Amino acid sequence: MCGIVGYVGKQKAASIILEGLKRLEYRGYDSAGVCVLQDGQLEVAKKIGRVENLTKEAAKHRFTGTTGIGHTRWATHGGVTDANAHPHVSSDGKIALIHNGVIENYGQMKTFLTGKGYTFKSETDTEVLCNLIAYHYAKESPGAGGSRFLESVRKTLTHVEGTYGIAVLCVDCPGEIVAARKASPLILGVGEGEYILASDASALISRTQNVVYLKDGELVHVTPTAFFISTLDQADVSPVVDKITWSIQDAELGTYSHFMEKEIFEQPVALENSMRGRFSEDGSTAQFGGLNLTAAELRQIDRFLFCACGTAWHACLVAEHLIERFARIPVEVDYASEFRYRNTPLHSNTLFLVISQSGETIDTLAALREAKRKGYKALAINNVVGSTLAREADGGIYQHVGPEIGVASTKAFTSQLMVAAMIALYVARMRDMSFSDGVQYVNALKGAPDLVRKALLQAPHIRAIAKRYAGYSDMLFLGRLSLFPLALEGALKLKEISYIHAEGYPAAEMKHGPIALISEKCPSVFFAPNGEIFPKIVSSMQEIKARKGPIIAIITEGAELPPGLADEVITIPECHEAVLPIVSSIPVQLLSYYIAVERGCDVDKPRNLAKSVTVE
């Protein structure tokens, strides 16, 4: 939520910052702004709307300076106005600030600062923080130069309750930025004679692959020739420079119209990357490098507790199904946002796992911290290397699917399903699953990318269906067993990018309430794979048909529906139970995508949403 970019170097800062903001726009897109330190002044341009609007606004300014900061906003305090957009400049004109997060005690600070003569142009908590830095800067000894700037930020942050990723400019310190973080991500890119600060790597990857991931409670003081990291209580920190393993091409659209489309079609390769090196030599089980648990410890686990938010929570529900089905170990799934306040009783042999693409979702992080505080081993399934979650978890599994930029999660979701299937296999093989069943399971997982390729061939057919269904206002998604979570995911995908009201339900539950919604105006999407339960699903379809509800059926090859029952049929390949949720994801992703395109929606940046939700 909110994107941050900062630049110190020899190039004109504004154009580099605008390019970074464009790449960060998926983090927040209600307004954007840039501030460049030049000619002894803090020159600011900001505008509501997309970075495109800011670029036009910035063209009216003569930005020449080589030090600057920029921001894309996802509003928390104060409406979407030019005045509320960041950067904010203190009322004495000394300090400029961009901020990602929420300052909880800003009310008290504002009263204090108003008493000291500081004035405010916006309704934001950020402007209060900015003026508080200016207040401390004015009080610090003027002889101290750059350290006066650093110390004023440090002092301010010791009074702050809340979360922040900030980057600060001081009018008296050209070539310098002070940045800090607490619960909001911040990365420093170390380039050739330049430094780039950003809330995620996509904003700096075009300039450098060398990065330092700042930790909570750390500040970085960037100067033209060096950077220094220290903590809030003034301890020096030795930086660790990591290398980003993906490249700029991974964060670009190429020939696709939207990142969501690109990411849907990347799934076969993404799945291969999630599996790479993770099967035992005898081909009968999975293996993971970073769990930090011995086989003996794992054998003692008699319960799993999964927590996550949104799409990742749906992946947890699939994990529940697979682990219980194949390893016969009870699994509980909770919303991360509920777990942190519910004070759930945990049993000593429970393994706590969180799933998060970004690794920055604040509720998921809070759930992890709560489990750790209670003394449990807490593992993470996570895509973004170096994320806060990855660093705080006791161990975990990286998804390795490269950057996911579309706000609607697609390739990260199917990769989470793949990792869940591998965990189920791993613990099942430690218990009752036989060698030959293990080999069969492994071969099924290895075959998943090709099955997904095959399912993707349905794209033109699904696009034609989407054209016929794009005008509806309500839709139901119905599935059973491991495909009930897919019904939830299908409904979430559709509503978040096309704004069609959609609900996911277990197919048989439909008759206990949602059936009241059924009419010719409310289509239902049914997952109807071949198998034991197929006749039951067909019965549910009949009940919908009897009430004139249009039906889109997603069946597996060979399944035979009574003639005329479904209005539309999408066929996916027959597959192993562990792979079925992965392959079944494809038609609902494509259907949602094409419906949203048909309705003219901004697929990659749906209204009110942001890619990673770093506020509570």
Q: Which residues are catalytic?
A: 2, 611
What DSSP letter does each residue of 428-474 carry, written as one string? HHTTT--HHHHHHHHHHHHHHHHHHHHHHTTHHHHHHHHHHHTT-SE
- Say how far apart CA 82 and CA 587 lie, in whole Å: 41
- Say how far apart CA 228 and CA 236 lie, in whole Å: 8
Q: Of 156 and 358, which has the nearer Cβ to ligand M6R? A: 358
Question: Packing angle between helix 435-456 and helix 411-429, nearest 10 degrees?
Answer: 170
Question: By CB under 6 A, which span of 10-18, 135-143, 402-410, 547-555 interacts with ligand M6R?
Answer: 402-410
Residue of 496, 503, 577, 604 that binds ligand M6R (CB under 6 A):
496
How many CB atoms neighbour CB 402 within 10 A? 21
Question: By CB under 6 A, which span of 261-269, 403-411, 459-467, 540-548 interacts with ligand M6R?
Answer: 403-411
Residue of 222, 408, 478, 551 that binds ligand M6R (CB under 6 A):
408
Binding flag, residue 76, ligand M6R (CB under 6 A): no
Question: By CB under 6 A, which span of 215-223, 405-413, 418-426, 451-459 interacts with ligand M6R?
Answer: 405-413
Residue of 176, 422, 613, 614 that binds ligand M6R (CB under 6 A):
613
Residue type, 147: S
What token pair was written down for 616?
């509570």
Binding flag, residue 387, ligand M6R (CB under 6 A): no
E-assigned strand segments in 183-255: 187-190, 195-198, 210-213, 218-222, 227-231, 236-237, 242-243
- Say how far apart CA 334 and CA 332 lie, in whole Å: 7
Torsion of CA 69, 72, 74, 75, to 10 degrees: 60
What DSSP letter does each residue of 29-86 carry, written as one string? -SEEEEEEEETTEEEEEEEES-HHHHHHHHTTS----SEEEEEEE--SSS-S-TTTSS
Binding flag, residue 24, ligand M6R (CB under 6 A): no
Helix count and strand count (H, E) for the chain: 18, 25
Q: Of 409 and 524, which has the nearer Cβ to ligand M6R? A: 409
Q: Which residue is nearest to ligand M6R (CB)?
A: 310
Question: By CB under 6 A, which span of 158-166, 345-353, 391-399, 404-412 interacts with ligand M6R?
Answer: 404-412
Please, which of residues 424-463 interact with ligand M6R by CB under 6 A? none
Q: Minimum distance between the CB of residue 1 and ligand M6R, rounded to whole angstroms?
A: 10
Tokens 């339900």, residue? 505
Question: By CB under 6 A, which span of 13-21, 205-213, 310-318, 564-572 interacts with ligand M6R?
Answer: 310-318
Q: Of 157 and 354, which has the nearer Cβ to ligand M6R? A: 354
Residue of 312, 380, 424, 476 that binds ligand M6R (CB under 6 A):
312
Give the interface size with ligand M6R as a residue count (CB under 6 A).
16
Q: Of 208 and 356, which has the nearer Cβ to ligand M6R? A: 356
Please, which of residues 197-226 interact with ligand M6R by CB under 6 A? none
Q: What are phi and psi of 515, to 5 degrees?
A: -60, -25
* Interaction mask 339-378, ligand M6R, x per CB under 6 A: -----------------xxx--x--x--------------
Q: What are phi and psi of 232, to 5 degrees?
A: -60, -35
Give the count of alpha carbons within 13 A of 542, CB side only: 9
Q: Of 237 and 609, which has the nearer Cβ to ligand M6R? A: 609
Question: By CB under 6 A, which span of 103-111, 171-179, 224-232, 407-415 interacts with ligand M6R?
Answer: 407-415
Q: Are strands 95-100 and 88-89 parallel, antiparallel or unpaired?
A: antiparallel
Q: Of 524 and 614, which has the nearer Cβ to ligand M6R? A: 614
* Interaction mask 539-578, ligand M6R, x per CB under 6 A: ----------------------------------------
Q: Of 74 and 279, which has the nearer Cβ to ligand M6R? A: 74
Question: Packing angle between helix 310-322 and helix 411-429, nearest 10 degrees?
Answer: 30
Give the angle 84-54-2 at the CA atoms, nearest 5°.
55
In angstroms, what is the C-alpha Rg of the chain? 26
Binding flag, residue 603, ligand M6R (CB under 6 A): no
User: Rule CB under 6 A: which residues touch ligand M6R?
Assistant: 309-312, 356-358, 361, 364, 407-409, 496, 609, 612-613
